[in-house]
Structure 1
Amino acid sequence: MATTRTDYVDLHCHLLPGLDDGPQTLAQSVAMARQAVADGIRYVLATPHHLDRHYQNPGPVVTAAVAVLQAELDRQQVPLTVFASQEVHLCDDLVTSPQQLLGIDTAQRYLLLELPHEHVPNYVAQVVFELLQQGTVPVIAHPERNTEMIAHPERLYELVQQGCLAQVTAGSLVGDFGRQVKCTSLEFVECGLVHVIASDAHLMPQRSFRLRAGYQALAHLDESYVERFEANAQHLLNGETVIATAIVQPRRQRKFWLF
């Protein structure tokens, strides 16, 4: 059951100290790790921002930071295993330029891809095509919080049709980002357009892990969502084939609600 699990996999978390807008000290990272364990998480993919307007975190930097944090967690006997990855921001030369990318899995079968928060760039389909051609499946991070996808949810439908997967934020499912985002996230789940749940936790009271609560929200829809999303988190981390269902085109959002 979602309320009793203690071995969740969290595939999107800003846990590493001093690399982005997550914790700034090792002590803060350890405190966050303890919060993750309290929320039932056993495995975390550390995904600092990479290639966005503010942060550059190439693979070797992230890998080194994970090694330092894991050593400290082991020393303090915090039962959390941390893996190195990135939240890679969309750019038009993502494939053609050497960007020192880390996948969700070590073979880079899957890549956590962040779109701009406000819109979906016209070149996204070309970047997705290029990634798929090289054998990497983009996993779109938190599409339910993208302004254009809220207004035009068919944009996510088009990307999933093209071959993308998508990750919904646990806090979105329980209303932490407002009614508009909650409704959009639940619709994406029911339309088969998102495939895994993750925390996107930061060192902020309003951006905690909330993974257990997110799974409880999925269980209210249908317990089968919980089983599928839990399995997919493991499959993605291991570079295995995810469980997908038939997708349904969502209704068009014709107005913006107040958050």
Structure 2
Amino acid sequence: MKINNLVDLHCHILPAIDDGSPYLETSLELARQAVADGIRYILATPHHMDRHYLNHAGDVVAAVKVFQAELDANDIPLTIFPGQEVHLNGQLMKNVDDLLGIDTSRHYLLLELPHEMVPSYLDEMIFQLSCEGVTPVIAHPERNAQIIAEPQRLYKLAENGCLAQVTATSLVGNFGKQVQRTAKEFVKCGLVQVVASDAHALKNRGFEMTKAYQVLNEMNSKYPERFATNARNLLNGDKIKARRIEVPRKQRKHWLS
């Protein structure tokens, strides 16, 4: 695994398109930070179909093209690909043609759940997506309140064919001890397959990918290579090696920070 060749599959780097970055200069600064953190390839994933933002596929593709030209003009060695962080809602299948996958063939889709709970219709949505040949990759499950309280819910989603992405700053501890413990437990249980930044131009929402890979290495020396390979395979639309999943430990209702 080359540390200056990392793939980041979840990043809010495009300017003035969602809550990630307000201006072009801010986005260029984020790009410099990404390169300094060992990242070479970024899937730009603006919010789509949540309560605040609607970023249609064609608009994202156009925005990536413009931003890539700015990166090249500023000699920033970063390659950007168009994607979306698609928010789970009941209109998803009606708008499936407006969804950008992690890969160009849309074998994989970055899917965000509501932060506080897991909707009851999620299983049906997973089935409908699978009928379209789409595998959902659940974004940052370690930060979902209901999944934190009932971690076996992620195990059930994995049994139904879902993959999941853990956030680098969660593993590093920027979201607190509870989220960090949950993130590590999901890694150990094989329930998350890839680490990504979910970077925004906000305090404590930077990249931290190198540190996250160090945490993975401390947990198991095989993890960094596995996670890096998984990220590349998802971006390319290739299959990733399945590993045995385990039921995560039921966690205490009250946490001591």
Structure 1, unaligned runs of 5 or more: none
Residue 98 of structure 1 deviates from its aligned partner by 4.8
Are 1:28 and 2:20 counterparts?
Answer: no
RMSD between superposed Cα atoms in Å? 1.1
Residue 251 of structure 1 deviates from its aligned partner by 1.5
> Aligned to 2:227, which of 226, 229, 244?
229
> Aligned to 1:113, which of 111, 114, 139?
111
In 2, the alpha carbon distance for the partners of 1:143 and 1:258 equals 21
Aligned AA (2:174): D
Per-residue deviation, residues 24-63 of structure 1 (Å, max 9, x unmatched): 1111111100000000000000000000000000101111
1:195–1:244 Cα contact (<8 Å) kept: no
Residue 188 of structure 1 corresponds to which residue in structure 2? Answer: 186
1:143–1:167 Cα contact (<8 Å) kept: yes
Residue 86 of structure 1 corresponds to which residue in structure 2? Answer: 84
Give the 3-state SS of the residue equivalent to 2:32 in structure 1.
helix
In 2, the alpha carbon distance for the partners of 1:11 and 1:44 equals 6
TM-score, normalised on structure 2? 0.98
Residue 133 of structure 1 deviates from its aligned partner by 1.1
Residue 122 of structure 2 corresponds to which residue in structure 1? Answer: 124
1:113–1:140 Cα contact (<8 Å) kept: yes
Equivalences for residues 89-238 of structure 1 within 5 A: 89-98=87-96, 100-238=98-236
1:12–1:45 Cα contact (<8 Å) kept: yes
Aligned AA (2:214): Q
Residue 12 of structure 2 corresponds to which residue in structure 1? Answer: 14
Residue 255 of structure 2 corresponds to which residue in structure 1? Answer: 257
In 2, the alpha carbon distance for the partners of 1:258 and 1:52 equals 33
Residue 141 of structure 1 deviates from its aligned partner by 0.1
Per-residue deviation, residues 159-178 of structure 1 (Å, max 9, x unmatched): 00000000000010111100
Per-residue deviation, residues 121-169 of structure 1 (Å, max 9, x unmatched): 0000000110011100000000000000000001100000000000000
Per-residue deviation, residues 68-121 of structure 1 (Å, max 9, x unmatched): 110000001100000000000001231133561100000000000000000000
Aligned AA (2:44): A
Residue 243 of structure 1 deviates from its aligned partner by 2.0
Give the 3-state SS of the residue equivalent to 2:155 in structure 1.
helix
In 2, the alpha carbon distance for the partners of 1:226 and 1:14 equals 23
Pairs aligned (count): 257
Give the 3-state SS of the residue equivalent to 2:98 in structure 1.
coil
1:151–1:256 Cα contact (<8 Å) kept: no
Aligned AA (1:181): V
Aligned AA (2:236): N
In 1, the alpha carbon distance for the partners of 2:14 and 2:21 equals 7
Give the 3-state SS of the residue equivalent to 2:138 in structure 1.
strand
In 1, the alpha carbon distance for the partners of 2:206 and 2:144 equals 20
1:144–1:181 Cα contact (<8 Å) kept: yes
Per-residue deviation, residues 201-254 of structure 1 (Å, max 9, x unmatched): 000231000000000000000011111100000000000001221000112123
1:88–1:114 Cα contact (<8 Å) kept: yes
Structure 2, unaligned runs of 5 or more: none
Residue 45 of structure 2 corresponds to which residue in structure 1? Answer: 47
TM-score, normalised on structure 1? 0.97
Aligned AA (1:92): G
